[in-house]
Amino acid sequence: MTDGPLIVQSDKTLLLEIDHPLSTECRRAIAPFAELERSPEHIHTYRLTNLGLWNARAAGHDAEQVIDTLLKYSRYAVPHSILVDVAETMSRYGRLRLEADPVHGLILVTTDTAVLEEVIRAKKIAPLLGVRIDAQTVAVHPSQRGHIKQSLLRLGWPAEDFAGYVDGQHHEIDLVQNGWKIRQYQELAAEGFWHGGSGVVVLPCGAGKTIVGAAAMAHAKATTLILVTNTVAARQWREELLIRTTLNEDEIGEYSGSKKEIRPVTIATYQVMTKKKNGVYSHLDLFDTHDWGLIIYDEVHLLPAPIFRFTADIQSRRRLGLTATLVREDGLEGEVFSLIGPKRFDVPWKEIEAQGYIAPAECIEVRVTLTEQERLAYATAEPENKYRHCATAVTKRKIVEELVKQHADDQVLVIGQYIDQLDELQAVLNVPIIKGDTPIKEREHLFGLFRQGKIKCLVVSKVANFSIDLPEASVAIQVSGAFGSRQEEAQRLGRILRPKADGRTARFYSVVSRDTIDQDFAQNRQRFLAEQGYSYRIIDADDVYQGKI
């Protein structure tokens, strides 16, 4: 027995003592293979999952390394069943391989004949297969490359894909490092992706994922399709590529609601790609009617179902997913793993902060007590309406007004989910608002004024969650959200993490109604912050009114 910070339990949970001097070192060591589940003040709970262990295996970690980590940091003897389970789970990855074949096009090869026999007999896999070649090999219909990877993952036998990629149409792209230099972690991320062939890069908001994309394009030197969340993000990508690469304006096209330009580098929005006309996704032809050498998915954790479906059909193209967090509340991380690829690069947010590339941040939950009338309305509301009642209470609005007043000299974003709540806040604060129906030109104009400091406060809906570059935003006040979404928490915190000119700490407030489902959801959202090493302070609304923040 050693005095380690970790307790490994037979139900696959790992308990990490936060106050232990080795807790930070341990958290970094287990991050590649363990998922954070709960994060109260002193003990954080992680869990070993199949997907987490397979991701670690795909990233080059073997079972021996994982077991050594558990043994090194565990306070008590690690249950033997866990050691066996880790070894056996990780050994499942790679027993099946997809390879190119000159005769059959695509083949599934095994190092374990019994495994191949098992998958051949699976009802959902049999239709994807061709002829049996020998005891270890079966042909796969080339068009089913993505679908068989999905099916094998669900069956518990994730395949390694060695079938290679088409080069796509050549197009010369290089980085232009005039007055700036690519950071080491950005270079490592791009190289990790390129050597892996396809996969996901996880970096904090503000850490320069666009530059990783540009570096990947410089590796590929091919026509590239970039998929983004909205038109504002598309234009930011365009501006970055014009600054950072040899591409000129004529080589970059925008494919959105307002423009349909197809160029050697085409930036398209998920919204237009998934628009149906007469029941058909007509714009998704863009995927396979052009000889792309690389497809980049910005904010890959948001991929809509139709994009997943078409991605299954284009496995011969190199695919790069970019995100701040791979968490999906719908549990579809497995789809990202099988169709885009495994995680190729990840780095803790605090590590990037320590290097000075993102701002330090303080996370504060402000708990408000609802009035008797508000509590009664909440208590009698239908279950599906309870969250809206407590999330949009007038009592919250008053504390937001006070917080904005106390941060009058800062660049402040007030962020929420419900448009009527945001409209009311905009009226009482007398500041501009950006929401779904705000025209693109007006959004860009308001964001521009905010960047210049001519607007000190903006009220924004979830349209500002993603890919919006607001370097001087230093305070975010969250009034309501997408229930307990950790992914949204990551994005909203990310809005204020660009390093500040004066080096000051950013502040992220969540205004939460006490003794309601709002408080329960807030606890789930905290998990993401704790996973990244942020401390999370809970204060009472009275402390704000008394200036104790």
CATH of 184-347, one of 1.10.8.50, 3.40.50.300, 3.30.365.10, 3.20.190.10: 3.40.50.300
pLDDT tens, residue by residue, 309-353: 889 888 989 999 999 877 666 667 888 899 999 989 888 788 888
Q: Which element (helix H / strand E) includes 185?
A: helix 184-196
Q: How far apart are CA 339 and CA 328, in angstroms?
A: 15
pLDDT tens, residue by residue, 375-430: 999 999 998 899 999 999 999 999 999 999 999 999 999 999 899 999 999 999 99
Per the CB < 8 A criterion, the answer to whether 195 and 132 are in contact is no
Report pTM: 0.85
Q: How far apart are CA 222 and CA 232, in angstroms?
A: 25
Q: Which element (helix H / strand E) includes 320?
A: strand 318-323
- Write out the two tokens for 65: 């390394």
Tell me, what's the pLDDT at 422?
94
Instruction: DSSP for 384-445, please give it.
Output: GGHHHHHHT-HHHHHHHHHHHHHTTTS-EEEE-S-HHHHHHHHHHHT--EE-TTS-HHHHHH
> Can you list the residues of the chain whose pLDDT is less than 70?
1-2, 39-41, 327-331, 465-469, 483-486, 531
Total Cβ atoms within 10 A of residue 546? 9
Relative orientation angle of helices 50-58 and 63-73, to the nearest 10 degrees: 120
Provide the CATH number for the domain formed by 353-545 in this structure: 3.40.50.300
Closest CA to 271 of 433, 460, 420, 466: 466
Tell me, what's the pLDDT at 57?
92
Q: In three state form, how does the secondary structure of 439-485 look?
A: CHHHHHHHHHHHHCCCCCEEEECHHHCCCCCCCCCCEEEECCCCCCC
Per the CB < 8 A criterion, the answer to whether 352 and 212 are in contact is no
Closest CA to 203 of 304, 58, 323, 118: 323
Tell me, what's the pLDDT at 329?
62
445-465 core/surface letters (b: 16 or more CB in 10 A; e: else): ebbeebeeeebbbbbbbbbbb
Tell me, what's the pLDDT at 468?
67
Residue 433 backbone dihedrals phi, psi, to 5 degrees: -130, 145
Tell me, what's the pLDDT at 135?
94
Tell me, what's the pLDDT at 282?
79
- Write out the two tokens for 174: 């290089």
DSSP structure class, residue 1: -
DSSP structure class, residue 222: B
- Write out the two tokens for 299: 């904010």
- Write out the two tokens for 294: 């690389």
Tell me, what's the pLDDT at 292?
94
- At which residue do the structure tokens 């009035």 appear? 371
- Write out the two tokens for 182: 């690519």
Closest CA to 148 of 118, 127, 128, 122: 128
Tell me, what's the pLDDT at 118?
95
